[in-house]
Structures are given as C-alpha cells and as structure tokens.
Amino acid sequence: MQNEPNPADLEVFRNLLVSIAEEMGVVLRRTAFSVNIKERRDYSCAVYGASGETIAMGDHMPIHLGAMPLSVKHVLASFCLAPGDVVIVNDPFRGGTHLPDITAVSGVFTDPDKPADFFVASRAHHSDVGGMSPGSMPLAREIYQEGLRLPPVLLMRGGEMQRDVMQIILANVRTPEEREGDLLAQVMANRRGEARLLELVARYDLDRVRQNASDLMDYTERITRAAIRKIPDGEYTFEDFLDDDGITNEPIRIAVAVRIAGDQTEVDFAGSSPQVAGSVNANYAIAVSAVMYCFRCLMEADAPYNEGLLRPIRVLAPERSVVNAGLPAAMAAGNVETSQRITDVVLGALAKAIPERIPAASSGTMSNLSFGGWDRLRNRPFAYYETIAGGMGASPRGPGLAATHTHMTNSWNTPVEAFEHEYPVRVRAYRIREGSGGVGRYGGGDGIVRELEFLEPAEVTILTDRRARGPYGLQGGESGGVGVNERVSGDGVEALPAKARLEFRRNEAIRITTPGGGGWGRC
C-alpha cells in the first residue's frame, strides 16, 4: 500500500517545479527581441510529465496555460523526441490558440538511450507570422489568410538548427530578424527548463521527483473536488453575446449549462452559435482553458495548476460551433475575444449557484490593436500587436480595479518610452476613463483611453468587443460602459466599428476607449 504523501515534500516540490517554469519565463523574456515578449510578457512556460500530463505552470497567461497541454500531446503523437530536439507548432487544430502563438516543445532525458522522462514547453505570441495584415490578427474569413500555419515540425534536431524550416518561417513574415530572435529565445527557455529538471533529478533521484509530481496532481484534484462540492447540486445556465464577427453585424451567442453533481461538474456549451465567417471562432482548447481558469478561481487554497484540475471537470462543446470550430475557420480573435466571453458565461452561470462569491463581468475584451508599415527613419518594416486593458468587475468584496488586464489575459503594459523608441508612433493619450465602471453597491473598475498617432502611414486592424453591450452587473449592479473606437484626424473624429481593417495616413491617430467593469449589488 502506497504511503500518504508527505505535506512538506509536496510543498517543497511544488515550489521547485513551479520555479523551473518561472525561470524559463525569465530567460524567454530577457533573451527575446520583440517588445511584445520583453515588455508585454505575452508568453507562458510549463513542465510536463512523460505522457504529456501537466506537472507545473508558471504564473503567466491563463489562455495559454490551459490550452498548451493539447499542443504538447499533438507533438508527442507526431514525434518521438530525441535529446536536443525542439518541435514547434501553432496550428489551432492541433492545440494551438491562434497562429501568432507559437509553442516550442523539448524532451528532458536522464538517459539519452531511453524515452524522455519529462517535457518542457514555451508558448510566445509573435508580433507577426505573416498573413494578410501586419500583426497577423486580420479581419479574415478563413485561417489561410491569418498567417503561416505550422503543424508539429522540428526546428532543432539533435541540437542543430534546421535551417530549411527556419528559412520557410522567415520568408513568410514581415519582421524576420525579430521572429528568429524570439524563436531562439524560446529554444533557450526550454534549455533552461531542461537543465533545471536534470539538476532536480540529480539532487532527489528520478523516482522521487516523479512520485511527488504525481502526488501534486492528486492534491490539485482533491482541492478541485472540494471546491466543486461547495457548489449546490443542480444545473445553472447563462448566455451572453459577442457584438459581431467583423463580417456581419449579427451578435454571436455563447451559451453554457454548468451541471454540478457532488464533486464533479459538466460544462456544456450546447446552444452556442455555429462557427462564423469572421475570426472570432475558438477551438476546443480555448474552451477548456477558459473553464479551467474559472474553476481555479473558486479554490480557496492556492492549488498547483496541473493536470489534476481537469479530472473532475468535463467540457462539452458542439463541433463546428463558435466554441469548437473546424477547418477552415478563421481564429485570430477566438483566443482573445471569445475566450473572454466564455469566461463571462461560465462565471455568470456560477453566479446563480454561489452569488456571494462571483464578481460582475470585467471588460470582456482584450481590445486588440495591430498595425504595421514601413519605418523610413529606421529603414525597416514594422509590425506591432497589443492588448489594451479595461475595467475589472466589482465583487461582493469590493469595487473593481481600473485599467487592468483581466481573466484570460495576464499581459503587462508596454511603457510609452519603449513603445515610441521602437516604432514610428506617438502616444497622445493614455489615461483612466473616469466614470466608465458600472454603478452598484460596489462600482466596477474604469476602462482606459489610449490614443496613438501614426508618424508613418500604417495598416491597422482592430479586433475589439463590448462595443454594443457593456459588461454585465450582478445582484442589481449596473453594466459597465461600452467601449468606443475612433479615428482622430484634421477632419475631425470618425467612429469606427468594433472590428475593422483600416488605412491610416501620417499624423492620423486611433483612439481606443475600453469598457468599464460591471457593478455589484444595488446601491
């Protein structure tokens, strides 16, 4: 009979394994070329077991972390990795989120003549991977327009760069030097994870590391089941809408039924809209990632983020729906916009079961802005992508925070100085949008106003939401203010749609005004 795990060992190994993923992230950030990774920190790193099960994740991007295990498993199904191999993949139909998110996977071998004992992976958002628009977040109708789609493919074989693969990638992007630098940064992050895991095994031996990793997954499962048991049994439903898909003006329904039975739950997205023509389609990995995030938020204990979290949770998503799309669906915005609405509806359903614990809706959009063109001063092309913060929803514990990234995004602010140094853009305004949070016993957090002047002609894509319907309030609280997109020029101010591909002239500006969070409780 197996001995009960030692609590002290569990805590020690939990911190050791998480620190490996965190250190991988530090290496990635410090060696990357792009502002998107260095400043915005749009990346995630994790450690996996011999079968691809998640052992530990860094405190990085929630949308990456829940989806990345599916990419790892697709890599393991495609390759028997050898020492020094690095496989990359970004295909949303193989566990990816959208094409700019490239995942690098490597094996960790205590014996080079045997299969890998662990795997490490890093996922980073690359600010351009080709496609019809700079920044690779286009207003597309099919995935083939969005950029270079990579099935699992060897970037490194036995420690040697596969130059043909790298050359194919670099020939299809607008900023090849930056892409090469960021990919090599991911390789270095994985090597750091490999080195630290080998040090851990040398210190404690392989069997002990494996056993504690397994015990940590069981521990997370127990905490998850305990959290679910505190929710009254029953079925709780909710629905909300995306404004549109950028191709038509029709709202897109996201519906959920959360069924609680003892210490298990089934999360069913039946009734959600069929996949659409525009790029707001999400895949199953995104739906799973958002559900994992919602239930982890319910845990009173700080549970390790690993495979054990999903064991009591079953996610059902109709095939070829907007939450589980199939080829040739465009997906650039599914990762960033639909993931937020999935989170909103799952939390909205849970608010009916445990109203004293669930906050009102936060901004509900990452307010994505991408642009590019030719920089005459630096004599090179430029391409940039960012997500813009909004207001956090109020909760039973107090008001929401203003001007913050919430839920499925955990990215940072790009400092104005770094932004203007790197790109032909001037930041005219960057301030809190006073009064945009929903009114309630506790008020929702305010959004922000961000206005950028283009010093060179630029092609611009905006993929935003909550421009027609504000983030919902709860328990009598009012909705947060809707977002607004505008072109500012010598001819005045022109209202822009939520999703659009636009040409900007030199000295014209775009103003993005983001939604406030919903209020909680009656005044």
DSSP character at residue 135: T
> Do 510 and 485 meet the contact criterion of CB atoms below 8 Å apart?
yes
- Single out the residue of 467, 409, 442 nearest to residue 522, CA to CA: 442
Residue 234 Rama label (left phi>0; alpha psi -120 to 50; beta): left
Q: Which of 30-44, 469-483, 487-501 has the lowest mean pLDDT?
A: 30-44
**Statement: residue 95 has pLDDT above 90:** no
Q: For 227-254, b where at least 16 C-beta lie within 10 A, e where not — what string?
A: bbeebeeeebebbbbbbbbbbeeeebbb
CA–CA gap between residue 47 and residue 61 (Å, rounded): 15
Number of separate domains in the chain: 2
151-202 residue pLDDT tens: 999 999 999 999 999 999 999 999 999 999 999 999 999 999 999 999 999 9
> Do 229 and 276 meet the contact criterion of CB atoms below 8 Å apart?
no
Establish if 437 belongs to a structural domain.
yes
- H helices present in 205-315, as ranges: 206-229, 284-297
157 by Cβ neighbours in 10 Å (0-12 / 13-18 / 19+) ranks as middle
Among the three residues 204, 220, 236, which one is the final residue of a domain in this structure?
220
| Residue owning tokens 């092309």 | 381
Helix 206-229 with 176-204: angle, nearest 10 deg:
100
Establish if 188 belongs to a structural domain.
yes
- Single out the residue of 341, 342, 322 nearest to residue 331, CA to CA: 322
| Average pLDDT for 362-382 | 95
Residue-level pLDDT at 189: 98
CA gyration radius for the chain? Answer: 22
Establish if 481 belongs to a structural domain.
yes
CA–CA gap between residue 299 and residue 165 (Å, rounded): 43
> Do 132 and 116 meet the contact criterion of CB atoms below 8 Å apart?
no
The DSSP bridge pattern shows strands 160-161 and 368-375 to be: unpaired
Establish if 368 belongs to a structural domain.
yes
Query: What percentage of residues in the chain have a pLDDT greater than 90?
Result: 91
Establish if 117 belongs to a structural domain.
yes
Establish if 246 belongs to a structural domain.
no
What average pLDDT is seen over the chain?
A: 95
CA–CA gap between residue 267 and residue 352 (Å, rounded): 15
Domain with 73 in it: 7-220
| Average pLDDT for 471-486 | 98
Q: Are residues 24 and 172 in the same domain?
A: yes
The DSSP bridge pattern shows strands 234-242 and 160-161 to be: unpaired
Among the three residues 202, 220, 238, which one is the final residue of a domain in this structure?
220
Establish if 440 belongs to a structural domain.
yes
Structure tokens at 454: 């283009």
330-351 residue pLDDT tens: 999 999 999 999 999 999 999 9
Among the three residues 220, 242, 276, which one is the final residue of a domain in this structure?
220
Residue-level pLDDT at 1: 41
24-61 residue pLDDT tens: 999 999 999 999 899 888 899 999 999 999 999 887 77
Q: What is the pTM of this model?
A: 0.95
Residue 2 has φ and ψ, to the nearest 5°, of -70, 135
Establish if 489 belongs to a structural domain.
yes
Q: Which of 64-73, 248-257, 489-498 has the lowest mean pLDDT?
A: 64-73
Q: How far is CA 161 from CA 103, 166, 180, 183, in A?
A: 16, 8, 11, 11
